[in-house]
Structure 1
Amino acid sequence: MNKNTIKDRRSFLTKMLVAGASGVTLLSSSAYAKKETTDTTVVLTEDQKDMLFYIYQEEKVARDVYITLGNIYTDENTFASIQVSEQRHMDSARELCEKYGVDTSGVDEDAVGSFVLPVLQELYDTCVSEGEETLLDALKIGELIEYTDIEDLEHAAEGMPEDVVSVFESLKEGSLSHLDAFQAAIERV
């Protein structure tokens, strides 16, 4: 997605409530992900399953970074509001994993800052380390996470079944809302 497209969407999304709009969309996409198809069973390749697991863990990175930075910068409510939405993102991604037989048993959602995939453990550690410097750095980390999520969701949707694409589109809409919230907070600081 180019920056002009993001800016165009940003103007529209700034008129919506961050949590409300993405929450409604995610709840409906979550229900869609659970719906069983009776006429066709889609079998994902191992690469597609790996991608579902990656997206699930990447959503956990966002949630966990926002929890951690929110505990450091308690006067900045952007982290608190968005971490709730990121939990819904995780739930939607986990439901897709369950539907398509992706093993998530090694993931402890309650263990903030703990990841199965080493690359995402490193991402979490780096984001927290850089975000601890100043509030502005923390907000810029939030912005970076959302840009990364948007790009990764677009890439991950390629060649996926319709229900996965639909959920990923909803997650991307949520990330666009989060991006707007972080950019507004950066301007305030």
Structure 2
Amino acid sequence: MKNILIVLYLLLFAMITGVYGQAVQLTEEEKDGLVYLYEEDKLAHDFYMEMEKKWAHHAFTNIIKAETRHMSMIKEEAERFGVDRISLLDDGKFVNEDLQSLYDDFMVKGKVSLLDALKTSAFIEETDINDLELKMVQTDVESLQELYGNLVSASENHLNAFVRNIKKEGETYSPQVLSQERFDMGITEGKGKEKGKTKACCDSKKSGKKGKCCSSKNSKAKCASEKTSKKCKGKESS
């Protein structure tokens, strides 16, 4: 009798879990976001790999591994929601034509000098932060918010690394994508741990979700980018 009850309990638990998992359905916008962010991370990975070959600089070597992990994280999340539109293309090749054009332009700039390669890399990380935060306020799915928040934190660390190395080359990097306020926030936060807990109340004109709170367990969801029309209020905690 006891064994039967255990079996019934396990079956009931499996049914409840299955129903819950099926209840969360991504919108087309959310699906497109996963696909785009995967290719955006692939762009960073492929570019850093080529720059590492060209300049043999440790900054690229270290971050290549992180970008590989990020691509896997996004792909796994996409597969979990049945999104099968992620294409595994060769290095330097992209489905998105805009990303393909950007990559080709970045390659030209990155081969000019190590300094140009580092500046281009900082620009890439700024863009990643900007796009991730935009996607974060466009979704109510907690697992996506958590994933994007963790990726924002990682990109802040990468941005810090490139800015430090630009400084070692004798120049100071100024933000090209983020507002100065958001850039300074990333430089400060990126010096710490990648994981933390943040709750920031946001108002995004693009997302059409006024007063939405970008909260994510074990992530830093910061929305101070003028580029994405986000205004944040509230206190952060770690």
Residue of structure 2 equivalent to 1:80: 61
CA gap 1:149/1:105 in 2 versus in 1, 3 angstroms:
closer
TM-score, normalization: structure 2? Answer: 0.61
* Displacement after TM superposition at 1:179 (Å): 0.3
Residue of structure 2 aligned with 1:148, choices 123, 127, 132: 127
Instruction: Specify the alignment match of 1:96 in structure 2.
Output: 77
Name which structure has the greater RCO, CA cutoff 8 Å, separation 6+. Answer: 1
Deviation at 1:157, TM superposition (A): 1.0
Q: Deviations over 1:35-91 (max 9, x none)?
A: x775352111111101110001101000000001111001x1101100110111111
Q: 1 CA distance for matches of 2:83 and 2:97? A: 18
More helix by share: 1
**For 1:172 and 1:100, how far apart are their aligned partners in 2?**
21
Deviations 1:107-145 (A, max 9, x none): 22xx21011111111111111111111110000011000
Q: Shift of residue 162 of structure 1?
A: 0.3
Contact map agreement 2:75 2:86 (CA 8 A) in 1 = no
Checking the alignment, whether the CA contact within 8 Å between 1:66 and 1:79 is kept in structure 2 is yes
Please name the residue that 1:65 is paired with.
47
2:161 matches 1:181: yes
CA contact 1:107–1:116 (8 Å) conserved in 2: no
Match of 2:177 in 1: none
| Number of residue equivalences | 151
Q: Percent identity?
A: 37
Which residue identity does 1:144 align to in structure 2? Answer: F
Greater mean alpha carbon deviation, residues 116-125 or residues 165-174: 116-125
Could you tell me which runs of 5 or more consecutive residues in structure 2 were left unpaired when the two chains were aligned: 1-16, 170-238
Residue in 2 that maps onto 1:159:
138
SS of residue in 2 equivalent to 1:115 = coil
CA distance in 2, matches of 1:61, 1:105: 14
The answer to whether the 8 Å contact 1:72/1:132 transfers is yes
Q: Which has the larger radius of gyration?
A: 2
Q: CA deviation at 1:147?
A: 0.4
C-alpha distance in 1 between matches for 2:114 and 2:126: 19
For structure 1, the 5+ residue unaligned runs are 1-35
Q: Residue 170 of structure 1 corresponds to which residue in structure 2?
A: 150
Alignment of 1:106-117 (within 5 A): 106-108=87-89, 111-117=90-96
2:122 and 2:163 in contact (8 A); partners too: yes
SS in 1 for 2:20: coil
Corresponding letter in the other structure for 1:66:
Y
CA distance in 2, matches of 1:152, 1:37: 32
Q: How far off is 1:102 after superposition?
A: 1.5
Q: TM-score, normalised by structure 1?
A: 0.76
Distance in 1, matches of 2:118 and 2:19, equals 45
Contact 2:38 2:86 in 1 (8 A): no
Residue 159 of structure 1, CA deviation: 3.3
CA RMSD in angstroms comes to 1.4
Counterpart of 1:52, as a letter, is L
For residues 134 and 105 of structure 1, the distance between their equivalents in structure 2, rounded to whole angstroms, comes to 33
Question: Match of 1:168, as an amino acid?
Answer: Y
Identify the structure with the greater strand proportion. Answer: 2
Aligned to 1:17: none
Which one-letter code corresponds to 1:88 in the other structure? R
